[in-house]
Amino acid sequence: MRSLLLAVLAAYVVAAIHAVLAFINKRRALQRVSEVALAMGFLLHTGALAADWIIDGHYPLFYLRETLSFLAWTLVASYLLILYRYRARPLGTFILPLVSVLVFIAAVAHSPTAGPTNPIAVRDTWLFPVHTTLLFFAYAAFFVVFIASVMYLLQERELKVKTFGAIFHRLPSLTTVNEIATSSAAIGLTLLTVGIATGMIWASSRDGRLWHNDPKEIFAALTWLLYVSLIVYRSSAGWRGRRAAWMGVAGFALVLCTFFGARMMGGYHVFG
């Protein structure tokens, strides 16, 4: 469904451009255009993912094209939830351009004509969709933590040197940024925990092993430990602090290693 994905890309590009312009010019009309385009793109994207699942006959998370498209979809879903809960529109300035890039790569990437080359019959279990979906939403939540942490560090720096530039006045308040980082970290950690657990159950049902010492498993475990530490630190420090923000940035670096680790290093989690 490349043509439908191109329509999704067009909607997201419009949303990203208007979100950036709204951030720069602080014009509500531009923000409304961005949100309408984003809603249309999200609906089309949901339809494109469903169509791929039906046409290809497997859950759309095997190949790079599918994974990038699905990741973009989870990022948009997470941003829409933030808009609903916090009205933190400046996050779209950072999230939507990335979403557009991911969908663009997915649209131009090679689409295999054959089914999954891995002999494991992943279609025979409901655990694969549950396991992968939980992990991708966890990655999206951790990206939100990363963005919120960067916003916190930017505002804290300007407060420290008392130079309040245009960016400072356009970002959400420190209280809002902390709330976003707090809730996103907690949600992401919960999803990651359940995702890892379902993955271990699935692995055990396939070959009797809970752990394969796979690069993706190792990075996922390290990511889990870091975000547990982040939650504990934020709790003990009143969910605030510069160190917590830097931990959020470091945690996203581990998320990137987790996401790309299997494809770069090979291993048990590479399907084709």
* Domain count for the chain: 2
263 inside domain: yes
135 inside domain: yes
Last residue of a domain, one of 84, 110, 136: 110
Query: Both 1 and 85 in a single domain?
Result: yes
pLDDT tens-digit readout, 162-195: 776 667 678 888 888 888 988 999 999 999 999 9
Last residue of a domain, one of 110, 135, 152: 110
Query: Both 103 and 15 in a single domain?
Result: yes
Q: Which ranges of 87-173 would DSSP assign to H, the alpha helix?
A: 91-108, 127-161, 166-170
**Model confidence, pTM:** 0.86
pLDDT tens-digit readout, 123-168: 556 788 888 899 999 999 999 999 999 998 888 877 777 776 667 6
From CA 117, how far away is CA 112, in angstroms rounded?
10
201 inside domain: yes
Residue 261 has phi, psi (to 5 degrees) of -60, -45
Query: Both 73 and 178 in a single domain?
Result: no
Query: Both 140 and 215 in a single domain?
Result: yes
Query: Both 173 and 84 in a single domain?
Result: no
115 inside domain: no
Q: Residue 262: what pLDDT?
A: 56
> Do 27 and 170 contact (CB within 8 A), yes or no?
no
Spans of the chain below 70 pLDDT: 1, 111-125, 164-166, 168, 208-212, 237-240, 261-272
Query: Both 142 and 258 in a single domain?
Result: yes
Nearest to 223 by CA among 247, 251, 186: 251
Query: Both 17 and 90 in a single domain?
Result: yes
Indicate the residue type of 189: L
Query: Both 77 and 99 in a single domain?
Result: yes
From CA 249, how far away is CA 255, in angstroms rounded?
10
Query: Both 83 and 207 in a single domain?
Result: no
Query: Both 267 and 135 in a single domain?
Result: yes
* Count of C-beta atoms within a 10 Å radius of residue 213: 9
Query: Both 45 and 136 in a single domain?
Result: no
Query: Both 46 and 153 in a single domain?
Result: no
What are the tokens at 222?
């390290």
- Write out the residue range of the structural domain in which residue 24 sits: 1-110
Last residue of a domain, one of 83, 110, 137: 110
